[in-house]
Structure 1
Amino acid sequence: MRRTGITCPGCDRDDLVQAVPAAYLAGRDAVTRRERDRDGDMRTVTRRVTSGLSDALAPVPAPPTYGLGGLGAFACVVSIGTFLGGAIGGRWFQEGTAHEPPEFGDWHLTLQDVPAEPPPAYEFLGWISALAFGVAVLAFAVVVRRRAAFTRITRRRHQAEELWAHGWYCHRCGTVHFEDVPGEDRSPLTLQRFREKVWEHGGYGALAARQRAVDAGRS
């Protein structure tokens, strides 16, 4: 690590002081390695690796997870599958239903020609399809709402990033301080306190209490 000329107010040294944006980016990397799949064949896999320090120095909250989107997609597949199964097996859309009695004048009609009542399972597939469709719609609605809420909350993230860019992290002390920020002194801050200040500047400081910065230790 190159000397920056910026000293840490805690230890009064500059050999392990790094700009917060640099420390944040240094902890985010893509790692490629060879590993075996389920069939035992070797394959190349690239994974995103993020250090604890990089997470703690993030200028914005972590976006909401979209696991419900997977549930919605699965429910959608179930809805379509059960609907098609019921429509084909139960012959829901064919002309002439099992409830239509044979005409008395048609003496050629035999018992074999009378359409049988569809098994109850086919009727039950319709209810399963409708229920799965409702679950899919609800899951997708929740995902869209969460995404819109996150976008709305972080609309002032550029203001948070302006303050964040003036932070300096000391790998020896494990603290952050600000340089050349009007209204902010050079007092060393814990990772959590630094997060609170930055996120409050962006208008989403309340989330700092729920997404707490984990002390990643000192180098």
Structure 2
Amino acid sequence: MSRVRNTCPGCDRDDRVQAVPAVYVGGRDAVSSRERDRDGDMRTVTRTVTTGLSDALAPVPEPPSYAIGCLGVLAAAVSVGTFLGGSLAGHWFRDDPAPEEPEPSRWGFVPVPAPASDPGPDLAFLGWISALALLAAVLVFTVLWRRKTAFARLTRGRHRAEELWSHGWYCHRCGTVHFEGVPGEDRAPLTLQRFRERVWEHGGYGDLAAVQRAVDPVRS
């Protein structure tokens, strides 16, 4: 029984035709390296290295950046640190007893009260710093939550996009993509940008294809 040849409609050859999911996964590698941390100790760091072709064939848009989360963590740490510092050193929760009136002794002498101890520096400003830092942390985490929720809502139709995406075939010789075995889709060769538009439109987020354009690594 002869094998059905999946040829590229551009060059009419099949020796360099590969399924889009295989190209996408093959271009995403986990690379480990040894680096020194801030304390000078060696540690193993694993990063994901992605090729330009794999990025161009992505079935979904890039998620929003969560780098602002570092500011939220820092603000939360400042809030907790200043709160604890003010509580321990500023005596925020200690009720200062009212001074007692000296009572005369039986000989008629009134004892001189001992001088009040030095209350130390006024650390009330730490309370304001703690409150402002806490507010900043809450705002940052709220922004992150809204970004994550909006992205999940935007890409809720990604299963439809991935269904069409899985029928794509990439020709390494021509640098084009075509669909195979999809009702309603012809086999005309598509550029990476046009392929992204077709797939993302199928998922309901095609307008983002004009913002996050597919860069052809061969022609760039």
What TM bracket, shorter-length normalisation? 0.7 to 0.9
1:103 pairs with one of 88, 100, 120: 100
Structure 2 alignment gaps of length 5 or more: 104-110
C-alpha distance in 2, partners of 1:125/1:54?
Answer: 50
Q: Which string of whole-angstrom CA distances, capped at 9 and with x for unpartnered residues, describes residues 150-184 of structure 1?
A: 11111111100111011111111111111122222
For the aligned residue pairs, the C-alpha RMSD in angstroms reads: 2.2
CA contact (8 A) 1:72 1:140 kept: yes
CA contact (8 A) 1:4 1:17 kept: no
CA contact (8 A) 1:161 1:198 kept: yes
C-alpha distance in 2, partners of 1:24/1:36?
Answer: 28
Pair 1:40–1:135, CA change in 2 (3 A): closer
Q: How many residues align?
A: 209
CA contact (8 A) 1:4 1:14 kept: no
Pair 1:36–1:73, CA change in 2 (3 A): closer
Task: Please name the residue that 1:29 is paired with.
Answer: 29
C-alpha distance in 1, partners of 2:114/2:60?
Answer: 75
C-alpha distance in 1, partners of 2:5/2:79?
Answer: 63
Task: Please name the residue that 1:173 is paired with.
Answer: 174
Q: Name segments (4+ residues, structure 1) moved above 6 Å.
A: none
What is the Cα deviation at residue 32 of structure 1? 3.2
CA contact (8 A) 2:102 2:113 kept: no
Task: Identify the range of structure 1 (73-82 vs 57-66) with the bigger mean alpha-carbon deviation.
Answer: 57-66
Task: Please name the residue that 2:106 is paired with.
Answer: none
CA contact (8 A) 2:24 2:54 kept: yes
Identical residues among aligned pairs (%) = 66
Q: Which string of whole-angstrom CA distances, capped at 9 and with x for unpartnered residues, describes residues 42-68 of structure 1?
A: 654432211111111011111122112
One-letter amino acid matched to 1:182: P
What is the Cα deviation at residue 36 of structure 1? 4.4
What is the Cα deviation at residue 108 of structure 1? 5.1
CA contact (8 A) 2:35 2:45 kept: no
Task: Please name the residue that 1:123 is paired with.
Answer: 124
One-letter amino acid matched to 1:128: I
Secondary structure in 1 aligned to 2:102?
A: coil
TM-score, normalization by structure 2: 0.86
